[in-house]
Every structure is written in structure tokens, then in C-alpha cells.
Amino acid sequence: WSSLPRRHTARQTPAANERREKKTTKKRLKASDLQLRFCTNETQAARETFVAKLQRLGFDILVSEVFSPAPAAAAVLKERGLRPHLLVYDGLLPEFDSVDQSNPNCVVIGDAAEKFTYQNLNEAFRVLTDLEKPLLFSLGQGRYYKETDGLKLDVGAYMKALEYACDLKAEVVGKPSPTFFQSVLNDMGLQPHEALMIGDDLVNDVGGAQRCGMRGVQVRTGKYRPGDETHPAVTADATVDSLARAVDALLRQRQQTP
Amino acid sequence: WSSLPRRHTARQTPAANERREKKTTKKRLKASDLQLRFCTNETQAARETFVAKLQRLGFDILVSEVFSPAPAAAAVLKERGLRPHLLVYDGLLPEFDSVDQSNPNCVVIGDAAEKFTYQNLNEAFRVLTDLEKPLLFSLGQGRYYKETDGLKLDVGAYMKALEYACDLKAEVVGKPSPTFFQSVLNDMGLQPHEALMIGDDLVNDVGGAQRCGMRGVQVRTGKYRPGDETHPAVTADATVDSLARAVDALLRQRQQTP
């Protein structure tokens, strides 16, 4: 689900009609026996913050149902005994409160926006080059996004800059990384073939889920582009007009399957 | 010749001893009947400025003997009727005075240093995405360089960021681009096999010249690294301790060849 209002701009927040339909749809899903998780590449705010915002907008959603790159990265860092130098948006810092950040032995970048300064990028680069085995994590690999005042370079572009300068390959945390989707399946106690991903981003939502062994359905909203249905690399298992239509089909199918 | 003081820091300027040897060596070369050109990837100052600085340091060198990416790019732009949006260091702007910069239909980036801000990068990106056929020129493709206050990301890193965001391949102007070396050969009226490149940067000086059909000699000064002699992709035709040794060998060889 990538249509969370990930940039805090009026433009990116779903319109009132769309919101009303989404709320109804989620109520129907919650009323079914289907397990539900929300996967977002939001990396400018901690989950608590954007879930609270969605709750204020009337969405029935819990922090525990939301999967985003930062907590996934925090878990990986702790598991592997890594101490990050963080180049992320200030609002995201709380997600790393429980991670030791002294004497860093890796770098984590998110969509740092205005914090992507020449000085901060050079600093992240120096931390990497000072390491015997440079290790870079990137919270997503988006190329760009749109805000009310125009297009902005996303974290993927800065990831490529550091990859080139350090001659390394970053580990991407978040969609479309299969390990990210797998961590969500683990939380649900499901096998990939038992789960269905619905999203508007063909490559990050649908393609990522499929590479993990799940089915992927694209909705013709948000990031959907007409060319998606003839994309050279990713073919959705189905393409439907909206989340409501996807849920209709899903619930109908379940009623028919004993 | 990549050991010009390309960053205006005490550290990068050749030490007094080295300078004295270089001056003597260049006098000997000038006294011979060999044609001489200086190829640098300097993109922070216009040729007039850094040649004047070298002249003040006692080097016998003329602007017309120096080849750097900015004037090469300006020539390409004029030849192809292109109007650049420039993201370069202020000191380099004079090199583009004669180029129409209205209503840009391409982007040119150099090592803009502090001008590589989040805002300026987004602006360059927007110019590219607004074009029907986005076209990016990069003045060199260096990964990083060293200044007195530490390592800095070079233009190549920002080139990669824009390449990824716009899904395009930049045209690199300057070393190691074969078209750059060819423009120098054209100026000398020579065929590649008649020319020899001497430099301290294995990939940009030696490898670039070799790809253009010239011989390439590496000197063990400046950017030379011990691993260069076993580099996986580039093997110098010869490796010598200094420019003076390279010129000794060259002049000796010429005396022996009738």
C-alpha cells in the first residue's frame, strides 16, 4: 500500500472521496477473516506519527499493522551488531532510538530531503571510506517523487552517488526488497503463495511482492501509469481500477473457494 | 597531465622540489621538437585563471596548450546547437560566456562543490525531466578527491545520481573520454599512434589515451597507487618514477630513432 500520504503535502493526501471509499474497503477487509498488513516506503516520519495522522483522518489502522523501511533496518542493524551513521530525515530518527549509534560501522540513508547537503553527503562518504568493509543501507531506492512545489530527487539517486563513489552496492531495505516482504509474511505466519499484495506502484509493490513469491495486483490509482500494463519487466497478476474493486474480487473469490 | 593544482589548496599544489623538477623537464621538452599539450580535468576554474597561477609559479605554459573539459563542452554545445542549464563552480562560468544559455535544452554538470545543494540538484533534475529528450553532459566522472579538510564527492557521483533519477546515460566530456583525447590530437594534427600520454591517473590518463589509440605512460606520483600496476582493466605501456624519468626515456628514444 503505497498511497499513504507519504509526503506531508495536501496534494499527496488522498482526496475526500477516495478516502471515504478506502475507509469502507478497509472496514470490509477487517470484518473478514483476512489478515491485513500495510507496507509503505515512508521514510520521512516515524510510524507513530503517520499512523496517528491516518487515524485522525478516520482510518482504522494500528502501528503494529504497518511495515516501513526504518524499523526493518533497525531490526537488521541490531541482529547484525551494526552501529549506523544516519543520514535520514529528522522525523525518522525516533525509529532508531534503540540502536547504538556510537563509533559507526555502517551508513544508513533515507529520503533526507533538505538534509541531503553537500556537507552531509561528504560526511556519509567519509564514514564509508574510513571503514575496512564499507556497508551502506538505503531505505528504499525511489528515483524521484512529486511535491506541491515540484519534483524532488528521492533516496535512490543519493544511494547511486554513494555506491559509485565508494565502489560498493547498497543493501536496500523496504519495497521492492524481497527480504522486506518476507519479514511481513513472517509476522503474519504465512507462506508467500498464501498472500496477495495490492499496490499502485508496479515495480516496488507488485514486482517486489512477486519476486518474493506472492501474487501482486496493481490498482489504477496514485502512481499507476498507463504504460504499466505493457512494462518490459513486471506483469501484474491482475490490474483493477481501485482498492475497492480489488477487495470485491478477493472477497468474492474467497466465498467461492471452500 | 593531471597534477595541475586542480583544487586550490596548499596540499594539492606540487611541492617546491617537485615543481623545480617539473619546470626543468618542461623546458627540456619545449627545447625539443616535440609538440606538447596539457590535458586536465580541472573544472573549478577557467583556463585563464589556472594557467595564470601556473605562470606565477614559474611554469612556461600557454592557455592554448591546455585542454580541459569546459571549453571542450562549450565547443560541443555550439556545434550541436545546444543551450545548457549549468550546474558548475562559479569560477568555471567564464568558459561558457559564448554559449547561449536561454531556454535550456540540456544540462551540464561540473564539480560544483558547495553548489551541489539539494535545491540545485532538484533544479537540474527538473530541467532534464521537462525535456522531451533529456541530455546530460558531465565534465569528468571522478568519484572523489582529497582536500585539506578531507575527502569530497566528485562530479561523477552526482552524475550517477542524475543518471539514475532520469534513467539516462550522461555524455562525459574530459578524460577519459576518447573524444576528448581526439580533440587534442586534432589540434596537434597527429594520429593517435604518433602521440604519447603521460599521467599519474591510471584510468583517466593512461586508460583513456589507450582507448583512443595512443600509448599511455603512468608516473608514480600524485594519484598513482601501488595497486595500479596490477589493475584488472588498464595496463600502462610503461610505469616510471616521475615525469622527468618519462621525458628522459622519451628523448633518449628519439635520439636513437633516425
Whole-complex ipTM: 0.84
| pLDDT of residue A199 exceeding 50 | yes
Q: How far is B94 from chain A (nearest CA, A)?
A: 24
| pLDDT of residue B21 exceeding 90 | no
Q: How far is A168 from chain B (nearest CA, A)?
A: 12
Q: Tens of pLDDT along A118-166?
A: 999 999 999 999 999 999 999 999 999 888 888 999 999 999 999 999 9
Candidates A87, A107, A116, A118, partner chain B, best to mutate (most B CBs within 10 A):
A118
The more confidently predicted of residues A17 and B179 is B179
- B161/A157 Cβ within 8 A: yes
User: How far out from the chain centre does Cα B37 lie?
Assistant: 12
The per-residue pLDDT of chain A, averaged, comes to 89
Strand partners, A173: A139
Helix axes A178-188, A69-79, angle to 10 degrees: 90
Euclidean distance between CA atoms B109 and B106, whole angstroms: 10
Identify which of B248, B242, B250 has the alpha carbon closest to the alpha carbon of residue B224. B242
Q: Are B188 and B212 in contact (CB under 8 A)?
A: no
Residue of A nearest to B160 (CA): A161
- B160/A163 Cβ within 8 A: yes
Query: What residues in B contact A115, CB-CB < 8 Å?
Result: 118
| pLDDT of residue A212 exceeding 80 | yes
Does B150 contact A at CB distance below 8 Å? Answer: yes
Q: Are B96 and B107 in contact (CB under 8 A)?
A: no
3-state secondary structure of A146: strand
pLDDT score recorded for residue B257? 66
Sequence-ordered strand ranges (E) for A56-109 = 66-67, 84-87, 106-109
Model confidence at B212, pLDDT cuts 50, 70, 90, reads very high
Euclidean distance between CA atoms A35 and B10, whole angstroms: 64
Euclidean distance between CA atoms A197 and A214, whole angstroms: 7
Euclidean distance between CA atoms B100 and B86, whole angstroms: 11
Euclidean distance between CA atoms B20 and B9, whole angstroms: 19
Does B161 contact A at CB distance below 8 Å? Answer: yes
| pLDDT of residue A198 exceeding 80 | yes
| pLDDT of residue A1 exceeding 60 | no
| pLDDT of residue B15 exceeding 60 | yes
One DSSP character per residue, B51-110 reads HHHHHHTT----GGGEE-HHHHHHHHHHHTT--EEEES-GGGGGGGTTS--SS-SEEEE-
- A157/B157 Cβ within 8 A: no
As a residue count, chain A comes to 258
Query: What residues in B contact A162, CB-CB < 8 Å?
Result: 157
Average pLDDT over residues B176-198: 93
3-state secondary structure of B208: helix
Does A116 contact B at CB distance below 8 Å? Answer: yes
The per-residue pLDDT of chain B, averaged, comes to 89
Q: How far is B120 from chain A (nearest CA, A)?
A: 10
